[in-house]
Amino acid sequence: MRPRRSTGRIAVLLAGLPQLGLAAPANCGEAGLLQRLLDDRLTLGVQSSWVHLEDTRRYSPAGLLDNTNDTGNFLGSLWGVDPRQRYVPLPFLEYRIVSSFGAGVAYDQARARTLDWGNAEQNVTAGDGDLEIRGIRPYLFARGPHWRLVPYAQVGLEHYWSSFYVSPGWAVPSRHFEVDATDGWFLAGGGLLPRGRHVRLDLQIRHSQTEPVVARAYLRRNHHRDGAFPMRRDALGAGLRWAF
């Protein structure tokens, strides 16, 4: 009879646990773990940038911008590249792993127009088209103390796929451009301005040490000119973050 009494007492005790707040739904542990993995760790954001290319001109030995400087120009007659400013917000994701350190990944793109002289008087620029790179930047980051402005630093790698959009005046059936993918690394620093519990304003300065994009201009079948376009650049960025 004693085992039956013990079993009955245990059953009564277990039945009373929910009223005492000592029992939880079966999925509570899973929800709590997910919340701990996300709270103050995961960040989603977007950022727009103003871009400055560091290497934009090729001069002849006489110090001139010259379409005929084939050995010195970027490719053929192209002696210049200028950035195309495109302020489209680009997405990124960050995850704080431990303390003030974590990892992130960002989508990035940049575009530059090529330049040469469009007339004999050399007072009108033309070019063969636009070079565009699109890719990803995986990186590590560190954040400073939580002051009114939270400083941070990033260091990471870059990988870009390239495309060349030829201008209407250059595009004829026998001509086309080929451009290769490129890689690089970058350093960035900035500050976060908290606006409420989840929203952060993001200000950043970044240097991208991107390798030149190797290009080939096919002027006729099985005949091309080789060259490369520099995409090493600096950027000033501004954006918004949502911290979970």
Domains and CATH numbers, the chain: 1-38 (no CATH), 42-243 (2.40.160.20)
Helical (H) or strand (E) element with 11: helix 2-20
The per-residue pLDDT for 82 is 97
CB 106 within 8 A of CB 206: no
The per-residue pLDDT for 31 is 61
Q: Is 196 left (phi over 0), alpha (psi -120 to 50) or beta?
A: left
The per-residue pLDDT for 197 is 84
User: Which of 143, 40, 146 minimizes the C-alpha distance to 100?
Assistant: 143
Residue 15 structure tokens: 């039945």
User: Which of 109, 160, 106, 91 minimizes the C-alpha distance to 138?
Assistant: 106
CB 91 within 8 A of CB 120: no
The per-residue pLDDT for 49 is 97
pLDDT tens, 103-158?
Answer: 999 999 999 999 999 999 999 999 999 999 999 999 999 999 888 899 999 999 99
- The rounded radius of gyration (Å) of the Cα atoms in the chain is 29
108 phi, psi to nearest 5 deg: -140, 155
Residues of the chain with pLDDT under 50: 1-4, 6-7, 10-14, 17-24, 26
The per-residue pLDDT for 230 is 97
User: Which of 195, 186, 166, 168 minimizes the C-alpha distance to 178?
Assistant: 166
Dist CA 134 CA 90 (whole Å): 11
Dist CA 49 CA 234 (whole Å): 10
